[in-house]
Structure 1
Amino acid sequence: MLPHKSPAILLSLAVLFSSLTACANTPTAKNLEQSLAADPRLQDNPAIFTETQQGETQAEQNQPTLALPTDFPKEIPLYPNATLQEVTPSNGSENKVSTRWLSSDPSNLITSFYRNQFQTNNWQILQQPTDEAEGSFEARLNNLLAKVSIQPQSVTNPTPNQPQTATSLVIEYTSNSTATTQPSPTTSPGETANNPPQPGDPQFIGPVAPTNLATQPENTVEGQKTATPTPASQQFSDLNKAPQELRKYIQDLASLGVLSIDSQTTKNNSNVSTNQFEPGKIITHREYARWLVATNNAMYASNPAKQIRLAAQSTQSAFSDVSKTDPDFPEIQGLAEAGLIPSPLSGDSTAVLFRPDAPLIREQLILWKVPLDTRQSLPNASLDAVKQTWGFQDVGKIDPKALRAVLADFQNGEQSNIRRVFGYTTLFQPKKPVTRAEAAAALWYFGTQGEGISAVEALKVKTPQN
């Protein structure tokens, strides 16, 4: 259609210009000529044309820009493709600072980033997401406590700075460096939170603050532990937070005094010292190794042949990330030298890292514990054998090294660790992190159906404490 209209348009323009030419000296023509002429101000001052654009640019430059607090800990990893959106400073009542970020990357990528960063930089992971798409990390490094919350978002009206698919990221951090030095509101003169009244002090109000080990001096060689002292009974104030079916196991092991934890003893408003077990928190490799050795040796206190020997400081470390000065080196190295955990000493050349602060997962819980139940070589196992016995739908996700331990655990009948800890299940979820309550349940019994010992039986023969 356009080709047919072009001659008509050209003819109309020709008539218009002819009319203007013929009437060049008429007032109408002069008015039309002036209306079509260029603005003379632009010839004298070209800056007028760009004044509006420059004004808009200047307004954008004058917009306030967000910046991290000057005391933001450099130890906290920052996701590279995230933009700071908001900073909420400490309100004074609690030393917690919150920052909110936005990223166009998918949430599972960000979750993987923080898991790797925390593990690589030796953070103690207290909690981590069970879903790769969203969730929260809680991690501690010395006196620094950080929480990273990851939440996918769907943006209704996307902008250049906020794409259609986005992930919200909230990083909160708290420093405990000052909290432990301030006197408690209920402390008496001369008393601080770091020096609470001790048993025998007239101002002391029970119960006795739990200790990890008895007060008897340890046998040491150049400051290194060489034997596990007799543990003292422990009391925890938050066992009501544990699953009902697991509380008894925790209580029995606490009475045995083998559940040493890293969390600090706190003081409530009644001036009574309490200890938090935090049963729902994820247990780390180092904590479980410590509990495993302490519980085994306490169960077999009268049978040295079944005890795990602690490594001496002069021993060459089996793992490159566990130095001789590590407080848990004697237990970790002792497990490696006994062949109870994978290491280069047991012929596993890939297990050069112990990753002491990484979360313990289910297949590791069984792999480390079952050899102390059977006290013999684990049976040969295949995927079909484990599937036929346990009926796990996700048997293909179990590490081949753990398959033999999982099969041997089935053969232990009602004393099976998996049955005691997880109940009836057709999903093993081998890579799922283990909580403190679950780890305690696994350690409540050592041995097979016909021959073994529980924490209750060990308590009956425990040497009375002075």
Structure 2
Amino acid sequence: MLPCKNPAVFLSLAVLLSSLTACANSPVAKNLEQSVAADPQLQTNPVVFGEAKDNQLQAQQNQSTVKLPADFPQDIPLYPNAKLEEVTPTSGTENRVSTRWLSSDPSNFIADFYRNQLQANNWQILQKPTDDVGGVFEAQRNDLLVKVSVQAQSVTNPTPNQPQTATQLLIEYSPSSTTTAQPTPTTNPRETTNAQTTNEVPQPGDSEFIGPLLPQNVATQPGTTSESPSAATPTVASQEFNDLNKAPQELRQHIQDLATLGVLSTESQVTKSNSNSTTNQFTPSKTITRREYARWLVAANNAMNVNNPAKQIRLASETAQPAFSDVSAKDPDFPEIQGLAEAGLIPSSLSGDTTAVLFRPDAPLTREQLVLWKLPLDTRQALPAANLDAVKQTWGFQDAGKIDPKALRAVLADYQNGEQSNIRRVFGYTTLFQPKKPVTRAEAAAALWYFGTQGEGISAVDALKLKRPQT
């Protein structure tokens, strides 16, 4: 038993307890009981000490004080899981508005969202990312021009509402009241108008397209008027590049002719001195991808056979069963790639090649693939039988044994075209074919400059004469 060191303390407690017991029903006792009772709200809403303040701070952070402009176009799709961070009007005379968003979702999710939304809502896509991770979209609908930049980024000081990794989304647009149907080179030299003929940029999956069909990334030459010409005087959707001096001298005229015909895509780059100024770059030495060559191949063939629909390649509809598992109907280049497969111009399961289940659209195009896809459109008949010895005797290639057996027939048939052969026109005299070597954009353009055999064919120059208005 503990010794009593403070008798006075125990005596005071005893007096207090006896008083409370005696006056349990008095008003003083009631007030004392209520003052020391637990908060009844804590019984239904238990909160850990210190957590209430944290929740309040987080709620304040979730409430963004930034608001969209009152004239923000309703046609521009907004990613649902993105928070508006900043709205910045662009200085100068262009009257463009830039909005910055932040999302915790991966950049490839957001890129897929805008790729599908822009295509599904009949936007004219002027530029799209080169990969599936992110990049820049440029699109136009009526007189509204929008630029969407999807960029993955790391957050230096993460907060409860901002994880360590995030995606920054920039949406820049020109209000409808300030854009015109005729763009100037300083706003966007790649912008086109809707009041043009069917010889210009088609939208993938549109059932109203009737050839000739050109690719999505067709750029009009600055200064092109937006007046709708008559069917008898089609407008040439020419392109203007400022880096053709970087292309090999022998190929420059071929590139220029196809650019004037309007079948090549550009590489739009933003200048460092002016973030709002873009320049059209052809980048002739850049490797061309399989999807881009497929798009050019269809566009060039249809443009050169503008008056002969029987020789045009039909674009596939979005309801077609995909021939390749990695090119879905939602892919922006599906109409061209699927159209080539359905025409039997590229190896696929439709042509009996059970091993060609993947198209690999973003893989580099090789020399043997360039010839294999192009020759059927030159000869317009079955390719001749070929073997390794025949190719060695004709071309004299030292590396003929490295050519894929499926491409041997096309290489041999190309030799029979004499000076109009694709190999001679593109690569000049060579005893090494290097079949697996990637093809540059300049080389691909040179191959598409002429369709047909020696003495019977059509060049880009001939096609331009058919497209120019008659005075």
Q: TM (normalized to structure 1)?
A: 0.56
Partner of 1:227: 210
**Distance in 2 (alpha carbons) for counterparts of 1:441 and 1:326:** 27
Distance 1:144 1:330, change over 3 A: closer
**Distance in 2 (alpha carbons) for counterparts of 1:214 and 1:456:** 26
Distance 1:362 1:221, change over 3 A: closer
Partner of 1:209: 189
Partner of 2:246: 241
Distance 1:396 1:323, change over 3 A: same
Residue 266 of structure 1 deviates from its aligned partner by 3.3
Give 3-state SS (helix, strand or coil) of 1:264's partner: strand
State whether residues 225 and 310 of structure 1, in contact with CA within 8 Å, keep that contact through their aligned partners in structure 2.
Answer: no
1:425 corresponds to which of 426, 430, 436: 430
1:333 corresponds to which of 334, 338, 341: 338
Residue 225 of structure 1 deviates from its aligned partner by 6.6
Partner of 1:143: 134
Give 3-state SS (helix, strand or coil) of 1:453's partner: strand
Which whole-Å deviations, capped at 9, do the CAs of 1:86-118 have from their partners, x for residues lacking one? xxxxxxxxxxxxxxxxxxxxxxxxxxxxxxxxx
Residue 450 of structure 1 deviates from its aligned partner by 1.5
Give 3-state SS (helix, strand or coil) of 2:451's partner: strand
Partner of 2:146: none
Identical-pair percentage: 66
Partner of 1:266: 270
**Distance in 1 (alpha carbons) for counterparts of 2:372 and 2:193:** 27
* Number of positions where the alignment pairs a residue of Structure 1 with one of Structure 2: 291
1:434 aligns with 2:439: yes
Amino acid at match of 1:283: I
Distance 1:291 1:225, change over 3 A: farther
State whether residues 326 and 360 of structure 2, in contact with CA within 8 Å, keep that contact through their aligned partners in structure 1.
Answer: yes
**Distance in 2 (alpha carbons) for counterparts of 1:361 and 1:196:** 45
Distance 1:254 1:180, change over 3 A: farther
Give 3-state SS (helix, strand or coil) of 1:406's partner: helix
State whether residues 226 and 311 of structure 1, in contact with CA within 8 Å, keep that contact through their aligned partners in structure 2.
Answer: no
Residue 142 of structure 1 deviates from its aligned partner by 3.9
Matches within 5 A, 1:256-405: 256-261=261-266, 263-267=267-271, 269=273, 273-405=278-410
Give 3-state SS (helix, strand or coil) of 1:408's partner: helix
Amino acid at match of 1:389: T
Residue 415 of structure 1 deviates from its aligned partner by 0.2
RMSD after superposition: 3.5
Partner of 2:22: none
Distance 1:290 1:355, change over 3 A: same
Distance 1:268 1:209, change over 3 A: farther
Residue 274 of structure 1 deviates from its aligned partner by 2.1
State whether residues 319 and 343 of structure 1, in contact with CA within 8 Å, keep that contact through their aligned partners in structure 2.
Answer: yes
Unaligned 5+ runs, structure 1: 1-121, 123-138, 146-173, 183-189
Unaligned 5+ runs, structure 2: 1-111, 113-129, 137-150, 154-166, 215-236
**Distance in 2 (alpha carbons) for counterparts of 1:433 and 1:298:** 26
Which whole-Å deviations, capped at 9, do the CAs of 1:166-193 have from their partners, x for residues lacking one? xxxxxxxx869879768xxxxxxx979x
Amino acid at match of 1:266: V
Distance 1:275 1:308, change over 3 A: same
Distance 1:215 1:407, change over 3 A: farther
**Distance in 1 (alpha carbons) for counterparts of 2:468 and 2:411:** 34
Give 3-state SS (helix, strand or coil) of 2:360's partner: coil
